[in-house]
Chains A and B, each alone.
Chain A
């Protein structure tokens, strides 16, 4: 079975440019998460969607970050304009309905490694 699919795997961009990261969750999962991983802060939850609706975006660092989930099989995380301090690994993850018997377990994608120069 296909896992969480993210693209691009690696992105190098110049400061000020727009970056769009993409995610396809596991089929049947209705919870979707975007995480960011850095050496300094570890793994941070940026935003959580349930049934395509953003439930908690309190982890989004600032207005330069936005996330959408137009349908159950696709989500984007956009950074505009990008800055060097945004350099990190961005993970998309998904799970079954959180309150269901198979919930609570998050499956991560391979990550998008972003470098802003």
Chain B
């Protein structure tokens, strides 16, 4: 069965600290996609990244980076030098190839304190 686990319910950091949000997934498919979305206090869901199961290269986008490790079924998200504007709930999601259904994690609430 498919499953996405975000064990960290809430994380608080002080501005400029680095923070890593964990995501562990389960699937029996060999082809699948992983996603991260951000939900700021204003409520919208913002797409951050998509990664397919055949591409284990880490990705960096500004202060954001993602570490995909199939060996541990993890797709972790690191924010470097966090800022108050990074405060949001972050969701990890999984989609098996050929299905339109996303399996969302329960989200991690990140609070960045000034």
Contact = CB atoms under 8 A, between A and B. Distances in A.
B44 A105 contact: no
Interface residues of B, number: 19
Given A98-B100, A109-B44, A104 B95 contact: yes
A113 interface: yes
Interface stretch (B66-74, B77-85, B101-109): B101-109
A107 B102 CA distance: 12
B43 A108 contact: no
Query: Which 3 A-B pairs have CB atoms at the shortest separation, nearest pair first?
Result: A108-B45, A110-B44, A43-B104
Interface residues of A, number: 23
B91 interface: yes
A108 B39 CA distance: 10
B63 interface: no
B102 A91 contact: no
Contacts of A45: 101-102
B72 to A, nearest CB: 23
B86 to A, nearest CB: 19
Interface of B: 33, 35, 37, 42-47, 50, 91, 95, 98, 100-102, 104, 106-107
A44 B45 CA distance: 14
A75 interface: no
Contacts of B102: 43, 45, 106
A25 interface: no
Contact of A42 (B35, B46, B47, B106): B106
Contacts of A106: 47, 102
A33 B44 CA distance: 15
9 contacts: A42-B104, A42-B107, A43-B104, A45-B102, A93-B45, A104-B33, A105-B47, A109-B44, A111-B44
A103 B33 CA distance: 11
A108 B37 contact: yes
Interface in A13-72: 31, 33, 42-43, 45, 48, 55-56
